[in-house]
Structure 1
Amino acid sequence: MRRIIAGVSVGVLALAGGYLYLDAQDVVPGFLTAEPADVPQAPFITQAPVVAASPGVDDAASSLSADAPRPSVSEVQELAEALRADDRTGTSTNVSIVDYLDGTVYADVSAADPQVPASTTKLVTAIAAVSELGVDFTTQTTVTWDRSTRTLTLVAGGDSMLAADEGHHGDVEDAEDAAEGWAGLGDLADQVLSFLGEDGRALKVRVDDSDFPGPAWPKEWPEYAFTMGYAAPVTGLAVRGGRLTEGNYVARASDPSLHAGELFVEALEARGLRVQGEVSHASSTAKAVEVASVDSAPLSEVARHLLSVSDNTVAEQVARVLALESGYRATPAGEAKAVAAALSDLGVTTAGLELYDGAGFSDRNQISPATMTSALLAAKDEPSLSGLLDWLPLAGLEGTVETRYDGLPPAGYWRAKTGSLTGVTAIAGVLVTADGRPLAVALLADGMPYGQANPMAAFDDLLGALAECGCEG
């Protein structure tokens, strides 16, 4: 049995309320995380830092060996069937476990049956977007200037993680933090000042998010997601996901574009420019000229962020940018078409796929476990997705699986995207067995009674058995 060395000091995150504690354990929907644990080096762990203006180095896949012994098909199938028979799950629990390197099927329990995937939807969103747009793809937030009306227009390009002032442009220590605040409104304000100079005359500020027609709040999303700070309306332009204060689960702006415009005014005024009137919505005029522009984080870093912390706003924004770049409207319907088309182009099994959002809040989304594992295998063979394993959080160390596997066999050997809604428990990713064989795993259960503890425990018992498996076929 592999063991993580005892005595590891794990920082406990002080949470304001039991609901947020449960969220940190992925018992309820959300993306709260804690400080990384000091865990010894494991096969999947990477230690390369993110350097300024460059994405982090991805190398988790390099440790995988095609010569590692295979597990017994009969034993893995037995584990999967036992999961469905477990009284903590139920008959809607479906399983797909395949060899990550060559696709050999080790377990299939109604794997082709589509069901509600919750936040594991983000896995297919990220795979589709990166495969279509590339790891280096960025969005641009721009400012135009209409001299005749002395109007600056802040134009949305799809970055919902702008900084209120200057961006860090990749100069961070932790790769998980790279996408947030890569570019900033202060960077735009500096460029505007350089162009206009300080002539003392007043100017006006408008925001243009017309490329993202919405609905900004998907009709499939529950209202509590906004009131509890799990997501913001998606408008193509936001500072820190529309958050109004520091923290993850905090109040969000009802109109993130206007909120960003107001913060842009503050950045301009801090640099000596004078702004008059209130910020409002208006399309940039034909005679306006571009005077400032900033690029978002590379899509690879955005994918790492949304998968690691399960960021609903960012995932939905990425899906809409994919739609726009693929020739569809940046709407939920457009993004569903774009994601499905990108997955099909990769050769992913998409039978039964239905999408109503890119984040997984919709309980009408339908994805089968077979589609999940098929997407993981297709990503392995797509050069632009070579870093996917590094973007998925590592059990016992990162993101939504940091504390869930503390002291359990999957810690250090399981990279996964979690998912939970009322009555839905899901998880998908890649796990390395005790013999070093990587397995693509998707476990989905819907129609469950209220509460995540029982089905999650049953899932993790199976994953623990796989992680310790020396069951050579």
Structure 2
Amino acid sequence: MRGKVLAGILVPAVVIVGAGGYAWADAQDIVPGWITAAPVPVAPAPFLTAVPVEPSPAPASAVSLVTADAPVPSASVVQSLAAEVRADERTGESTNVSVVDALTGEVYADVDAAEVQVPASTTKVLTAVGAVADLGPDHRMTTAVTWDPSGRVLTLVAGGDMLLAADAGHGGAGEDANGWAGMGDLARDVVETLGDGVSGEVELRVDDSAFAGPAVNPDWPQYALDLGYVAPASGLAVNIARMTDEHYAQRFDDPSLAAGDVLASRLSEAGLSVGEPERGVSPASAVEVAAVQGAPLSEVAYLLLRDSDNTIAEIVGRVHALETGRATTPTGAAAATIAGLASIGAPVDGLVLNDGAGFSEDNRIAPAHLTGAIVAGLAAEPTEDLLDWLPVGGLEGTVASRYADTDAAGALRAKTGSLTGVTALAGTVQTADGRLLAFAVLADGMPYGQERPRAAMDELVLALAGCGCEG
């Protein structure tokens, strides 16, 4: 396991700096638009994604190996740094902190680290770790088509993949989970399997009955659907149900049926006449005539953490529930996540989950839950490549434009979280002495706005990254 951890810690030799216009400001949470009790003049955007930016060289200190022999920091120094975050006027008494050794679990700082609070999008770390712990990094979601010759019925059967391409999938050549498998592949395989023995129009059904739902989590705010921050987790979609190629595009109300429309077009192009797709179940007498498999779950985990993708986080939880014999509901997904975490020894006492993405304000996660999941994940075989999934500071995801030209650039791997009144950051950081630390800082009950509390948290990260505080 350690060999893989060491490989995962090698950081790229470039970091991302700069950005353009509103997209950068949005990714930084410094424009208006978070959830608020009073009406706001602009749309809220608590879940964010990275934008294209220009590279510049990383500091040499960012490129190094982490080993168990690296000097251990002084717990008293790290505890003092953590306490300063809570004492900072930009945060407050609701700020709780956990800093532990990522390889041994030794506690270096505990500021009410076991106290649960609203975690926002750091929830996704637990969703990803719990699912991979149970299902394994190589688990793949299968989308199938069945054929019932007696009723002349083709059925598109959902298997959880909401990252399908509209035509041919790239099969990994595109190095991204989105578009790994495609509707065009399914259509061509269907026509090849059926051959010339089918003439005239056939019926096309869409069957996502394996996903009981509700597809729209009751804890999600309506604005999230209206503004394209999330799609119904139906178990089947092309490009996460986006209507356009924009990251926060409007989503189809019925992603599964919209995917059926795409398959109908691909089948028609391949020479098979099909009717307009309708919802239904695959007949008992039907046989499978085509199937495609999506990206390995490890690649899906990387995408959902890198892009902070709410829909994929939610559907990963539902697929986790399905594959472990639980109800494909928010409750079933939460139970699956908690059980997956417990299976690798991550702490779960007091953990409350209502969605996989972190939109729910009723989720309750403690900083120690997050650092505990990271430590347990690195130590367990299924999740030992966890560091490869977390976005790199100054390079990827919602930390792409943070930490540029600092000791944390390339040395940090972390997931952000933001809702109105909630600011969070959880991940790992390598000290100047080469020690890998797992940390989590959560603050809820904050004033409106993200810039001030995030700046205070960043100061802690920078202090840890530059720490030569050997005990």
Q: Verify same fold: TM over 0.5.
A: yes
Q: Which residue of 2 aligns with 1:29?
A: 46
Superposition RMSD in Å: 2.4
SS in 2 for 1:470: coil
Q: Could you tell me how far apart the structure 2 residues matched to 1:346 and 1:20 are?
A: 33
Structure 1 residues 258 and 43: alpha-carbon distance in aligned structure 2, compared to 1, 3 A threshold: farther
Q: Which residue of 1 aligns with 2:383?
A: 385
**1:397-450 alpha-carbon deviations (Å, 9 max, x no partner):** 111110022223311110001111111111110100111111100000111111
Q: Could you tell me how far apart the structure 1 residues matched to 2:334 and 2:15 are?
A: 43
Structure 1 residues 18 and 69: alpha-carbon distance in aligned structure 2, compared to 1, 3 A threshold: closer
**1:19-75 alpha-carbon deviations (Å, 9 max, x no partner):** 5774899984223212264244678989xxxxxxxxxxxxx9xx2111111111111
Deviation of 1:14 after TM superposition, in Å, equals: 5.0
Q: Which residue of 2 aligns with 1:222?
A: 221
SS in 2 for 1:244: coil
Q: Could you tell me how far apart the structure 2 residues matched to 1:288 and 1:98 are?
A: 54
CA contact (8 A) 1:98 1:104 kept: yes
Deviation of 1:197 after TM superposition, in Å, equals: 2.8
Deviation of 1:159 after TM superposition, in Å, equals: 0.3
33-42 or 208-217: bigger deviation: 33-42
Deviation of 1:134 after TM superposition, in Å, equals: 0.5
SS in 1 for 2:257: helix
Stretches (4+) displaced over 3 A = 7-11, 13-28, 39-46
CA contact (8 A) 2:133 2:343 kept: no
**1:203-240 alpha-carbon deviations (Å, 9 max, x no partner):** 12110000001010000001111111111000110111
- Alignment partner of 1:123 is 2:121: no
**1:344-377 alpha-carbon deviations (Å, 9 max, x no partner):** 1211111210000011110100011111111111
Deviation of 1:146 after TM superposition, in Å, equals: 1.3
Deviation of 1:9 after TM superposition, in Å, equals: 7.6
Q: Percent identity?
A: 53
CA contact (8 A) 2:27 2:398 kept: no
The one-letter code sitting in structure 2 at the alignment partner of 1:268 is L
The one-letter code sitting in structure 1 at the alignment partner of 2:139 is F
SS in 2 for 1:417: strand
Q: Could you tell me how far apart the structure 2 residues matched to 1:11 and 1:104 are?
A: 36
The one-letter code sitting in structure 1 at the alignment partner of 2:101 is D
Structure 1 residues 200 and 23: alpha-carbon distance in aligned structure 2, compared to 1, 3 A threshold: farther
Structure 1 residues 351 and 246: alpha-carbon distance in aligned structure 2, compared to 1, 3 A threshold: same
Structure 1 residues 104 and 18: alpha-carbon distance in aligned structure 2, compared to 1, 3 A threshold: closer
Q: Which residue of 1 aligns with 2:358?
A: 360
SS in 2 for 1:159: coil
Deviation of 1:139 after TM superposition, in Å, equals: 1.1
Q: Could you tell me how far apart the structure 1 residues matched to 2:402 and 2:59 are?
A: 17
Q: Could you tell me how far apart the structure 1 residues matched to 2:221 and 2:442 are?
A: 21
Q: Could you tell me how far apart the structure 2 residues matched to 1:202 and 1:112 are?
A: 61
- Alignment partner of 1:289 is 2:306: no
CA contact (8 A) 1:118 1:426 kept: yes
Give the TM-score normalised by the residue count of structure 1.
0.90
- Alignment partner of 1:156 is 2:158: yes
Structure 1 residues 37 and 98: alpha-carbon distance in aligned structure 2, compared to 1, 3 A threshold: farther
Q: Could you tell me how far apart the structure 2 residues matched to 1:24 and 1:373 are?
A: 30
Q: Which residue of 1 aligns with 2:250?
A: 251
Structure 1 residues 163 and 25: alpha-carbon distance in aligned structure 2, compared to 1, 3 A threshold: farther
CA contact (8 A) 2:215 2:234 kept: yes
Q: Could you tell me how far apart the structure 1 residues matched to 2:25 and 2:393 are?
A: 23
After TM superposition, list the pairs within 5 Å mapping 1:309-458 onto structure 2.
309-458=307-456
The one-letter code sitting in structure 2 at the alignment partner of 1:66 is A
The one-letter code sitting in structure 2 at the alignment partner of 1:158 is G
Q: Could you tell me how far apart the structure 2 residues matched to 1:401 and 1:72 are?
A: 27
How many residue pairs match? The answer is 450
Q: Which residue of 2 aligns with 1:38?
A: 55
SS in 2 for 1:66: coil
Deviation of 1:145 after TM superposition, in Å, equals: 0.8
Q: Which residue of 1 aligns with 2:38?
A: none
The one-letter code sitting in structure 2 at the alignment partner of 1:265 is A
Give the TM-score normalised by the residue count of structure 2.
0.91
Structure 1 residues 111 and 22: alpha-carbon distance in aligned structure 2, compared to 1, 3 A threshold: closer
Q: Could you tell me how far apart the structure 1 residues matched to 2:382 and 2:62 are?
A: 20
The one-letter code sitting in structure 2 at the alignment partner of 1:82 is E
Counterpart pick for 1:305 among 298, 303, 306: 303
Counterpart pick for 2:137 among 132, 135, 138: 135
The one-letter code sitting in structure 2 at the alignment partner of 1:193 is V
SS in 2 for 1:202: coil
The one-letter code sitting in structure 1 at the alignment partner of 2:218 is K
SS in 2 for 1:466: helix
- Alignment partner of 1:168 is 2:170: yes
Q: Which residue of 1 aligns with 2:37?
A: none
Q: Could you tell me how far apart the structure 2 residues matched to 1:20 and 1:465 are?
A: 23
Structure 1: gaps (5+ residues): 47-59
CA contact (8 A) 1:24 1:32 kept: no
CA contact (8 A) 2:147 2:153 kept: yes
Structure 1 residues 21 and 444: alpha-carbon distance in aligned structure 2, compared to 1, 3 A threshold: closer
The one-letter code sitting in structure 1 at the alignment partner of 2:51 is A
Structure 1 residues 192 and 9: alpha-carbon distance in aligned structure 2, compared to 1, 3 A threshold: closer
Q: Could you tell me how far apart the structure 2 residues matched to 1:43 and 1:10 are?
A: 16
Structure 2: gaps (5+ residues): 1-10, 35-44
SS in 1 for 2:441: strand
